Amino acid sequence: MAYLELNNICKTYGQGDNESQVLSNINLTIEEGEFVAIVGFTGSGKTTLVNLINGLLEPTSGEVLFKGNPVSGTSHERGVIFQNYSLLPWLTVEQNVLMAVKEAFPKREKAIWKRKAAYYIEMVNLTPATNKLPKELSGGMRQRVAVARALAMKPDMIIMDEPLGALDALTRGNLQDQILNIWGKDKRTALLITNDVDEGIYMADRIIPLRPGPNATLGPEFKIDLERPRDKTELNDNASFKKTRNAIIEYLMDIGDERKSEAKEQFILPDLAPKDFVNQFR
Amino acid sequence: MKASLTLNKVSNFLGLGLFRTLKDLFANKLEKEDFKNFLRKTIVPLASILLFLGLWNIGAKALYNTEADFKIEKALQNQGQAAADALQVCIASGESSCQPNTLPSPSQVWGSFQSLLRDHNIINADKAAFAEKTAALNKTRIAEGKNAIVYTGRPSFVDQIFRSLKTVFAGFLLALFITVFAGFLLALFIAVPLGIFIGLSPTLKSAFNWFIQIFKPVSPVVWYLLVFMIVKTVLIGSADDSSFTISFISVGLCSMWATLVNTAMGVSTVDKDYINVAKVLKLGAFQKIFKVVLPSSLPLIFTGLKITLSVAWMVLIAIELLAQSPGLGLFVWEEFQNGANDSNAKIIVAMFVIGIIGFLLDRLMLMIQNWVSFDKTDAI
């Protein structure tokens, strides 16, 4: 049985004339321990898809099954790393992580709360910043706090919504490795949403392009058969990497062209010419 | 070291960089670049204060002369040359009975301020003497089950200041309680699941919006009348002083709107991301309110509270005047009606006292805001 299963998911926003269908006919299965990446253009409905899976939104039609049970509402079994960190700015790093720890560990284990929080903060190498407020941290550090918070809930599956989108290339590379490291330790199921094809290929077992919305659907999947741990520099010379990468990019480009040609509406320019600027003052 | 640290803190809290610069000046710690800063922070304000006092003095003198000339002219027309000459001599001699009634000069105001303080001391001594005189009698009266005899002389200026502060704080607390209650109710609705967040909050808004919009612009005077109608009936037959109750409720009703509107706005515009986080972490309703909704709306709530406090202090004067509740407002009104030769100076003393206390109250709120709020850059 699949770990996570999306069956014919459709999601529309608004009603009547304002109705717009964001996602249509999404079918997806993820097996336990798998690392799946979904690649798509900005505005193609990626965040909506994530919110459907983590339970913040409900599908208009279709069903989301997690471990065979329909998803209703959020659960600590599915940890989320948000695109914009979403740390609470009035709480320190430790307090932010503690909020998640408290959810994962019941009240009777109060004594170990602090230790657990410290453990997850250590895991993302932020121990020196334990008592700092989010605004005192750099972007990369904030995202690491968000990672620690998501992990502190002890989720069975971890959902990442463009987690590294706002970071510079160097920090990005470091964090990719850190996330892979943590994922490699206990092989949690992971879903990564990204707009960076390279990132997807480097991290995931499978890549699925999301055709841009409205009416976004999932495209054909691409298997990545590269051995782990992967080495970034070697990857660049790997023939299979190059092939997959080109195939995915080609596919996405084709979608882009398709979408452009779909815009059939032509705008006729008004028949106006600028006044003769020089003659005007003569 | 410790003492100087506290001094720095206090002067920072009061927003008076001046103290620190002065201290540095005496400690010989002032760098050359700091001199410009010192000039800007001490010399310039002092110069502007002196300029203000100078202009005031000149203006007061001009008004005084115009008024005096007019008085003499009138005496000449009505009573003849002899009376006019006598009046002129009288005015020049500084005799209080014939001084023209006009804007007092700064020195007169300062004199009145001192006389008010002297008056306070006299009344205090009087009170103490009265308490001593009646102590034995009161003991026997209480033993017999009768009410003790209390001092019923007029309140001094300082007493009236404290009474005013009491009224304003009682009104402020009332406004606070109403708002806290309303705000908490709203926060509760938002903290409870998604459907209610989208569904009920606008419902709540449309239910109360008309109420706020209509009653917000109502004048303090009208609020006073409304409260008077109700409180007089409620307290019927009670020996208590109803003027205080009426004035603090009126002050509360006048000033609560800013906080109410700001709290509602703060609570209903919590960043959607934070709400999502709270949902993903599966926080309970109360956790959600105290850990997410309220902290994120604190800056707006405090902006409202600051406005409320300053409005409360502003309407207080009018309300006290109407309610005959002893305080600064009544003091001003009575001095105006009194028309004694130093009445005008006393009114101006009251004006400055009101202004300075208002400023200190604002600083106090800023202090509390800095203390509780996370977003320190917002606290301006």
> Considering only A61-70, A165-174, B38-47, B342-351, which range has the smallest mean pLDDT?
A165-174
What pLDDT was estimated at residue B55?
Answer: 94
DSSP bridge pairs for A193: A38, A161
The two structure tokens encoding residue B321: 């005047």
Per-domain residue ranges of chain B: 2-98, 104-153, 157-378
Q: In the 3-class helix/strand/coil scheme, how is B334-360 assigned residue by residue?
A: HHHHHCCCCHHHHHHHHHHHHHHHHHH
The pLDDT > 90 percentage for chain B reads 4
**pLDDT value at A247 more than 60:** yes
Mean pLDDT of A53-65: 86
What pLDDT was estimated at residue A46?
Answer: 83
- Amino acid of residue B103: L
What pLDDT was estimated at residue A70?
Answer: 85
pTM of the model: 0.69
> Considering only A7-11, A198-202, B108-112, B280-284, which range has the smallest mean pLDDT?
B280-284
Q: Which residue has the higher pLDDT, A108 or A250?
A: A250
- Residue B200: pLDDT band with limits 50, 70, 90: very low
A56:B280 CB<8 A: yes
- Residue B304: pLDDT band with limits 50, 70, 90: confident
Q: What is the pLDDT of residues A171-197, one digit of tens each?
A: 888 888 888 888 888 778 889 988 888
H or E, element range at A203: helix A197-203
What pLDDT was estimated at residue B376?
Answer: 46
Instruction: Write the DSSP assignment of B177-197 as a string of letters.
Output: HHHHHHHHHHHHHHHS-HHHH
- Mapping DSSP to helix (H, G, I), strand (E, B) and coil, where does residue B4 land? helix
At how many degrees (to 10) do helices B242-268 and B294-323 cross?
A: 160
CA–CA separation, B267 vs B181, rounded Å? 13
Residue A104 contacts B where some CB pair is shorter than 8 Å: no
**Which residues in chain B touch residue A79, judged by CB atoms under 8 angstroms apart?**
280
Q: Which residue has the higher pLDDT, B5 or B239?
A: B239
Mean pLDDT of B354-374: 84
Which residues, at least 6 apart from B106, have a Cβ–Cβ distance to it below 8 Å?
Answer: B53, B56, B57, B60
What pLDDT was estimated at residue B50?
Answer: 93
The pLDDT > 70 percentage for chain A reads 92
Q: What is the pLDDT of residues B52-63, one digit of tens each?
A: 999 999 999 999
A90:B295 CB<8 A: yes
What pLDDT was estimated at residue B1?
Answer: 41
Radius of gyration, CA atoms only, chain B: 28
- Mapping DSSP to helix (H, G, I), strand (E, B) and coil, where does residue A16 land? helix
What pLDDT was estimated at residue B53?
Answer: 92
What pLDDT was estimated at residue B379?
Answer: 36
Q: Considering only CA atoms, which of A123, A76, A121 is closest in space to residue A103?
A: A76
What pLDDT was estimated at residue B51?
Answer: 94
Residue A80 contacts B where some CB pair is shorter than 8 Å: yes
**pLDDT value at A69 more than 70:** yes
Mean pLDDT of B197-223: 71
Mean pLDDT computed over every residue of chain B: 78
Mutation target vs A (from B281, B300, B374, B375; most A CBs, 10 A cutoff)? B281
At how many degrees (to 10) do helices A139-152 and A93-104 cross?
A: 20
Q: What is the pLDDT of residues A135-151, one digit of tens each?
A: 888 888 888 898 888 88
At how many degrees (to 10) do helices B157-191 and B106-143 cross?
A: 80
CA–CA separation, B109 vs B94, rounded Å? 16
Q: If you measure CA to CA, which chain A residue comes closest to B372? A: A90
Residue A77 contacts B where some CB pair is shorter than 8 Å: no
**pLDDT value at A251 more than 80:** yes
Mean pLDDT of B141-148: 82
CA–CA separation, B354 vs B317, rounded Å? 9
Question: Domains, chain A, ranges and CATH?
Answer: 4-75+170-280 (3.40.50.300), 78-154 (no CATH)
What pLDDT was estimated at residue B57?
Answer: 92
Asked: is B157-378 a CATH 1.10.3720.10 domain? The reply is: yes
**pLDDT value at B175 more than 90:** no
CA–CA separation, B165 vs B360, rounded Å? 12
**pLDDT value at A210 more than 90:** no
Q: What is the pLDDT of residues A217-237, one digit of tens each?
A: 787 888 887 777 777 777 778
Classify strands A69-70 and A61-66 as parallel, antiparallel or unpaired.
antiparallel
Residue A99 contacts B where some CB pair is shorter than 8 Å: yes
What pLDDT was estimated at residue B32?
Answer: 66
**ipTM reported for the complex, 2 dp:** 0.77
